[in-house]
């Protein structure tokens, strides 16, 4: 299934953030995990400049180039290194976004990135200027779809006045539904919703009980809940473990009855 924007939904994607990129055995394992993800039919792999300041993108290119047909590689721009705070800063200036995109294309060994996301909107730059820069890149053939990350309903609506938005990547899971209204807006417009942190950190006796009844893991139940929650949902759980990856992908085949979903929703409401 695809959204109105043409992005695949309804299956489990892969978030590459956790993959180690430094030389050594851990990197070799990371390459194997990425290749296994493709072998399992993962439709989308999500990366970003922030993940190792380009090292994660280079890892994906080493593992997968030339990329198999049908695989969508998504990356993010708008964040740059900084010596202050958490080690990063916003930079949504149009000239910076163009430069970051060109560098990402070189690292990924692509002529066009099918989904380019603003990692965060820069509060110092008008939304129309930031999204407009990505629209120009799309019009030039360097970008397929434009995505946003961690946006409000108002920011999403403002961005859509400048360009069509293909996806939104906000934090969302069974126990964390702060962005419920954003999800609803995405559903109404056919915009893919890529929840990051899709597996809640909280332990829940009810989730554990449902998992036992289904012969599944609690993590699989949480991913299955997301897939059942909305037709535009595409979770992107991350892992550096091949076994964990296979469990995550298998969650795409797990079906929750209305009763099980109601039990999970009640557990979340009472948490």
CB atoms within 10 A of CB 234: 27
Distances (CA, A) of 166 to 115, 116, 134, 175: 8, 9, 12, 25
Q: In this structure, what is the dihedral angle of CA atoms 171, 153, 72, 61, given to the nearest 10 degrees?
A: -60
Q: Evaluate whether 146 touches 165 at the Cβ level (below 8 Å).
A: yes
Q: 189 exposed, middle or buried (CB, 10 Å; 0-12, 13-18, 19+)?
A: middle
Q: Of 237, 250, 255, which Cα lies nearest the Cα of 195?
A: 237
CB atoms within 10 A of CB 197: 16
Q: Evaluate whether 158 touches 132 at the Cβ level (below 8 Å).
A: no
Q: In angstroms, rounded to a whole number, what is the distance separating the alpha carbons of residues 39 and 10?
A: 18
Q: Of 126, 170, 165, which Cα lies nearest the Cα of 144?
A: 165
User: Is position 51 annotated as part of the catalytic site?
Assistant: yes
Annotated catalytic residue, options 49, 51, 196, 225 = 51
Alpha helices in the chain (DSSP H): 25-39, 55-64, 94-108, 127-139, 153-160, 180-189, 205-214, 218-229, 242-250, 258-270
Catalytic positions: 51
């Amino acid at each position: 299934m695809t959204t109105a924007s043409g992005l695949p939904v309804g299956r489990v994607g892969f978030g590459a953030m956790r993959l180690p990129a430094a030389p050594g055995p851990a990197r070799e394992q990371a390459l194997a995990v990425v290749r296994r993800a493709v072998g399992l039919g993962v439709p989308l792999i999500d990366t970003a400049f922030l993940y190792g300041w380009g090292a994660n993108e280079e890892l994906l290119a080493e593992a997968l180039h030339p990329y198999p047909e049908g695989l969508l590689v998504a990356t993010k721009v708008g964040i740059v290194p900084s010596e202050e705070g958490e080690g990063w800063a916003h930079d949504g200036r149009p000239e910076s976004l163009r430069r970051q995109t060109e560098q990402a294309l070189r690292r990924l060994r692509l002529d066009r990135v099918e989904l380019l996301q603003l990692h965060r909107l820069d509060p110092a730059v008008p939304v129309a200027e930031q999204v407009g820069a990505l629209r120009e890149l799309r019009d030039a053939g360097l970008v397929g779809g434009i995505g946003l990350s961690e946006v409000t309903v108002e920011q999403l609506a403002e961005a859509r006045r400048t360009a069509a938005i293909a996806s939104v990547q906000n934090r969302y899971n069974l126990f964390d539904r702060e962005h419920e209204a954003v999800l609803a807006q995405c559903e109404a417009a056919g915009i893919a919703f890529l929840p990051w942190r899709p597996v809640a950190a909280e332990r829940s006796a009810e989730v554990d009980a449902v998992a036992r009844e289904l012969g599944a893991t609690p993590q699989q139940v949480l991913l299955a809940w997301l897939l059942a929650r909305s037709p535009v949902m595409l979770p992107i759980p991350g892992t550096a473990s091949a076994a964990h990856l296979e469990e995550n992908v298998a969650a795409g085949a797990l079906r929750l009855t209305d009763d099980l979903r109601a039990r999970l929703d009640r557990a979340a409401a009472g948490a």
